[in-house]
């Protein structure tokens, strides 16, 4: 089983996180930010990742530090759970409709960090959640599990649907990218021999 647990404590956040890349999509999420809980629950379900997250953060300031640091921890956990990346498909993509919204996500677990994020929100907030924190979360995630991650909004007019489409689409793309390809055996999917 490709699993990893991480604990990270700073002056701003105290996080424990566990992931199973070969799970069934069950989750237990408590970030202290209701909307982020909802997004990460969807992420786990659509990626079929088992995910436990507990975060005590300085949400009296705002949600920035919690969203950023959870992204850091999730990225580190994915990177560790993938190990040498032997046999992984490496690439994945998903074009996902969410009512009027259409989101394209594509990922290459390349060992090189690149986030291309072309998503706009009609509102600055969804409830108490700052919409700019979606990008902040994925920047932190991609930096800590080095990958090329492209997220592009093709259509959308409802901020909640846009954010939900982003998390679901990325989860589905990652599910494909981390899947084991039986034809590869224990090969690393790169002509370099390393990812």
Cβ proximity of 146 and 110 under 8 Å: yes
Please report the DSSP string for 127-173 in residue order. Answer: TTEETHHHHHHHHHHHHHTT-EEEEEEEE---HHHHHHHHHHHHHHH
Confidence band, pLDDT 50/70/90 cuts, at residue 170: very high
Q: Give residue 166's pLDDT.
A: 98
Q: Give residue 34's pLDDT.
A: 97
d(CA 100, CA 21): 30
Q: Give residue 191's pLDDT.
A: 82
Confidence band, pLDDT 50/70/90 cuts, at residue 6: very high
Q: What is the mean pLDDT of the chain?
A: 97
Give the residue-averaged pLDDT of 148-173: 98
Q: What's the longest Cα–Cα distance across the chain?
A: 50
- Comparing 49-58, 164-173, 183-192, the range with the smallest average pLDDT is 183-192
pLDDT at 194 over 90: no
What's domain 3-184's superfamily in CATH?
A: Imidazole glycerol phosphate dehydratase; domain 1 (3.30.230.40)
Give the residue extent of every domain in the chain.
3-184
Q: Which of 150, 152, 169, 154 is nearest to 100 (CA)?
A: 154
Give the residue-averaged pLDDT of 24-35: 98
Q: Give residue 24's pLDDT.
A: 98
Cβ neighbours of 11 (radius 10 Å): 7
């Amino acid at each position: 089983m490709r699993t990893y647990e991480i604990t990270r404590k700073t002056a701003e956040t105290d996080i424990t996180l566990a992931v199973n890349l070969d799970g069934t999509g069950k989750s237990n999420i408590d970030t202290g930010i209701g909307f982020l809980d909802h997004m990460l629950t969807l992420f786990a379900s659509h990626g079929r990742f088992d995910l436990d997250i507990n975060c005590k953060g300085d949400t009296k300031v705002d949600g920035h530090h919690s969203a950023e640091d959870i992204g850091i921890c999730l990225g580190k956990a994915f990177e560790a759970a993938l190990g040498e990346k032997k046999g992984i498909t490496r690439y994945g993509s998903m074009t996902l409709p969410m009512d009027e919204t259409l989101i394209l996500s594509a990922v290459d677990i390349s060992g090189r960090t690149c986030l291309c994020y072309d998503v706009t929100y009609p509102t600055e907030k969804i409830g108490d959640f700052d919409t700019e924190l979606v990008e902040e979360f994925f920047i932190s995630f991609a930096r800590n599990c080095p990958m090329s991650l492209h997220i592009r909004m093709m259509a959308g007019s409802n901020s909640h649907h846009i954010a939900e489409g982003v998390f679901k689409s990325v989860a589905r793309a990652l599910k494909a990218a981390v899947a084991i390809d039986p034809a590869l055996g224990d090969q690393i999917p790169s002509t370099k021999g390393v990812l």
